[in-house]
Amino acid sequence: MTDARQQLIEYIKSDAVFHGDFTLTSGKKASYYVDLRKVSLDHRVAPLIGQVMLDLIADIPDVAAVGGMTMGADPIAAAILHQGAARGLAYDAFVVRKEPKDHGRGRQVEGPDLAGKRVIVLEDTSTTGGSPLKAIEALKKVGAEIAAVAVVVDRATGAKEAIEAAGYPYYAAVGLDDLGLAG
């Protein structure tokens, strides 16, 4: 395990895991909630997320850009873009809106032109895989080729299976075991 990954896990455990009764985006109930925005927008942790995610996706060839559904994927994409640039890598970032804008250019996918480009769809914390699949739907409309889905924290609640059943490779940087939440 890399030092950056271990540091990231410690920050997530101490600052982003909350215990109690929660309703997830999927409607499911949970006894804990991983609020990754508590760390993905933290100046100490964002660089770690970028480093860990770059290591996670390093072997996926010819990727032009990374991003996903706003808002969870946005800081993850920015961290990868910045840490990638620091390593001499050229990953652009994109944002997928829930719906196309009703003004301006009316875009649902913001950022560079992705037609014919290989992209990785990101998510901060995955539960059902619904957000990445919705992002994939929008990305296909603009002609992007989906190389993979990569998440920071996998809750082990079906996202991996849903993404893989849809035909996409699934990568997760941190699992419930890492956070002491499994079982």
Q: What is the pLDDT of residue 30?
A: 87
Q: How many Å apart are CA 109 and CA 68, to the nearest integer?
A: 9
Backbone angles phi, psi at 161, to 5 degrees: -65, -40
Instruction: Please report the pLDDT score of residue 169 as a whole number.
Output: 98
Mean pLDDT of 5-22: 96
Which band of pLDDT confidence, cut at 50, 70 and 90, is reported for residue 183?
A: low
**41 within some domain:** no
Domain count, the chain: 1
Q: Give the pair of three-digit tokens for residue 131.
A: 């957000």
Residue 116 CB neighbour total at 10 angstroms: 10
Q: What is the pLDDT of residues 112-134, one digit of tens each?
A: 999 999 999 999 999 899 999 99
pLDDT of residue 29: 87
Domain span holding position 93? 49-175
- The domain that holds 110 is classified in CATH as 3.40.50.2020
Q: Kindly state the tokens that stand for 100.
A: 């196309």
Instruction: With H, G, I as helix, E, B as strand and everything else as coil, classify residue 138.
Output: helix
pTM over 0.75: yes
